[in-house]
């Protein structure tokens, strides 16, 4: 029987969340070892190529024009500056470079510049990822032709809780964007945010929506809300850290061959909590002092953490064995 399923019920996923913590971690770690080298972690670096003044109203986001945050707005970056940042990320040890823009969707005159960025970053030998909001027409195919490896577009939360957080685009809009990206043959990076005041049932609903997509996203970022003053979600009650670890573990169980990224929120986590997340099946991080606009742990701290835990940056070959073929990957032999 294959572990790769697309028929997860809420009850199935809820039952995983309800397991005793040790049983859940054991199950997640066992599955993780069937599909991945347990000591390899994929390393991506983010860059905000267009910052702030976004017309959308996402309640968590410091870049929405509707929230009064202290963020400085920046227009689309020049190509050379993006290439310089990508080269620095590569030289610091990242294997993927993710470019994010605070847009509802890219306008054509900006989009052609993003295509150039993808081409040039790819030419540095890096994997490429962009997150630009909704796409139209042949934009997904043009990104693919330019050398795009991944498109990030998150479902963010359950269909039921979604309307509490975002009103300017629908859950269906997001599913449609994922479909367009998938059809163009670009790997999908899609996950969500926890700690937004949602119930466990919403974390169950998010993971169900992701795991029951026609193909599992090749990459699944699990973000812990970074609370930014001036956003509607600032001041939300914190989540029990073990519930965050459970969310990672359940993501690993329901999407066994997908790379699960321990994403935003690491700056507020101690090393022991991050180690638990890796044990629960997280095998990717954002690396570098900044996420898009907020702080991420310093690169030296992450290098020290990898050293202490015996983790190594995933080789491109290892990643391609699992990534890009999430629904087709054969399990690898258990490794220790």
Binding positions for ligand SF4, 51-110, rule CB under 6 A: 54, 56, 58, 61, 63-64, 102
Binder to ligand DTB among 105, 218, 223, 231 (CB under 6 A)? 223
293 binds, among ligand SF4, ligand SAM, ligand DTB, none (CB under 5 to 8 A by kind): ligand DTB
Q: 226-230 contacts: CB < 8 A, separation 24 or more? A: 226/60, 226/264, 226/265, 226/267, 226/268, 226/291, 226/294, 228/60, 228/61, 228/62, 228/69, 228/293, 228/294, 229/69, 229/70, 230/62, 230/67, 230/68, 230/69, 230/70
| Cα–Cα distance, 334 to 47 (Å, whole number) | 36
Residue 156: contacted member of ligand DTB, ligand SF4, ligand SAM, none (CB under 5 to 8 Å, by partner type): ligand SAM
226 binds ligand SF4 (CB under 6 A): no
Phi, psi at 295, each rounded to 5°: -80, 145
Closest CB to ligand DTB among residues 46, 135: 46
The least distance separating ligand SF4 from the CB of residue 129, rounded to whole angstroms, comes to 15
Determine which residue in the list 152, 219, 227, 258 makes contact with ligand DTB, applying CB under 6 A: 152
For residue 261, CA distances in Å to 137, 193, 254, 278, 284 come to: 29, 12, 14, 9, 4
162 versus 278: smaller Cβ distance to ligand SF4 = 162
Q: Would you count residue 180 as binding ligand DTB (CB under 6 A)?
A: no
Residue 146 lies near ligand SF4 (rule: CB under 6 A): no
Cβ-based neighbours of 237, under 8 Å, separated by 6 or more: 197
The residues with which 262 forms a beta bridge, in sequence order, are 222, 285
* Residue 98 appears among annotated catalytic residues: yes
Nearer of residues 27 and 63 to ligand DTB, judged by Cβ: 63
Q: Between vectors from CA 214 to CA 145 and to CA 173, what angle results, nearest 5°?
A: 70
Which run of H or of E encompasses 68? Answer: none
Q: Are 320 and 36 in contact (CB under 8 A)?
A: no
Instruction: Give min distance, CB of 52 to ligand SF4, in A.
Output: 8
161: CB partners within 8 A, 6+ apart: 196, 198, 199, 202, 205
Handedness of CA 289, 140, 322, 224 (dihedral sign): positive
If contact means CB under 5 to 8 A according to the sort of partner, which of ligand SAM, ligand SF4, ligand DTB, none does residue 64 touch?
ligand SF4
Among positions 106, 133, 265, 281, the unique one binding ligand SF4 when judged by CB under 6 A: 133
Q: Which is nearer to ligand SF4, 62 or 140 (CB)?
A: 62
Contact status: 156 vs ligand SAM (CB under 6 A):
yes
Known catalytic residue: 182? no
Q: Considering only CA atoms, which of 334, 331, 332, 336 is closest in space to residue 2?
A: 331
How would you label 107-124 residue by residue, b for 16+ Cβ within 10 Å and e otherwise? eeebbebbbebbebbbee
Looking at 27, 96, 203, 261, which residue is catalytic? 261
Annotation says 61 is catalytic:
yes
277 catalytic residue (yes or no): no
Residues that bind ligand DTB (rule: CB under 6 A) add up to a total of 17
Residues of this chain, 281-300, that bind ligand SAM according to CB under 6 A: 292
* Positions marked catalytic: 54, 58, 61, 98, 129, 189, 261
Positions that interact with ligand SAM (CB under 6 A): 54, 60-61, 63, 100, 102-103, 131, 133, 153-154, 156, 193, 223, 225-226, 228, 264, 292
Positions that interact with ligand SF4 (CB under 6 A): 54, 56, 58, 61, 63-64, 102, 133
């Amino acid at each position: 029987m294959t572990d790769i399923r697309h028929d997860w019920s809420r009850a199935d996923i809820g039952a995983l969340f309800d397991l005793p913590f040790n049983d859940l971690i054991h199950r997640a770690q066992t599955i993780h070892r069937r599909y991945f080298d347990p000591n390899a972690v994929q390393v991506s670096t983010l860059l905000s190529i267009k910052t702030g003044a976004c017309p959308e109203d996402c309640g968590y986001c410091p870049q929405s024009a509707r929230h009064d945050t202290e963020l400085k707005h920046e227009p689309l970056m020049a190509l050379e500056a993006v290439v310089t940042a990508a080269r620095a990320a590569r030289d610091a040890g990242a294997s993927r470079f993710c470019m994010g823009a605070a847009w509802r969707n890219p306008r054509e005159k900006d989009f052609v510049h993003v295509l150039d960025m993808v081409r040039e970053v790819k030419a540095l030998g890096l994997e490429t990822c962009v997150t630009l909001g909704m796409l139209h027409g042949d934009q997904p195919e043009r990104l693919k032709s330019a050398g795009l490896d991944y498109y990030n577009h998150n479902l963010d939360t359950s269909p039921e809780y979604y309307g509490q957080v975002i009103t300017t685009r629908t859950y269906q809009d997001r599913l449609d964007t994922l479909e367009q990206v998938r059809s163009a043959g670009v790997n999908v990076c899609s996950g969500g945010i926890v700690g937004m005041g949602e119930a466990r049932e919403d974390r169950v609903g998010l993971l169900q929506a992701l795991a029951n997509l026609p193909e599992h996203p090749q990459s699944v970022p699990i973000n812990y809300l970074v609370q930014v003053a001036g956003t509607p979600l600032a001041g939300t009650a914190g989540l029990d850290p073990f519930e965050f670890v459970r969310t990672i573990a359940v993501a690993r169980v329901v999407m066994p061959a997908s790379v699960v990224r321990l994403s935003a929120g690491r700056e507020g986590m101690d090393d022991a909590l991050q180690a638990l997340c890796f044990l629960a099946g997280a095998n990717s991080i954002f690396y570098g002092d900044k996420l898009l606009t907020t702080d991420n742990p310093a690169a030296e701290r992450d290098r020290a953490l990898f050293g202490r835990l015996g983790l190594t940056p995933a080789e491109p070959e290892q990643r391609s064995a699992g990534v890009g073929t999430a629904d087709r990957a054969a399990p690898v032999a258990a490794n220790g």
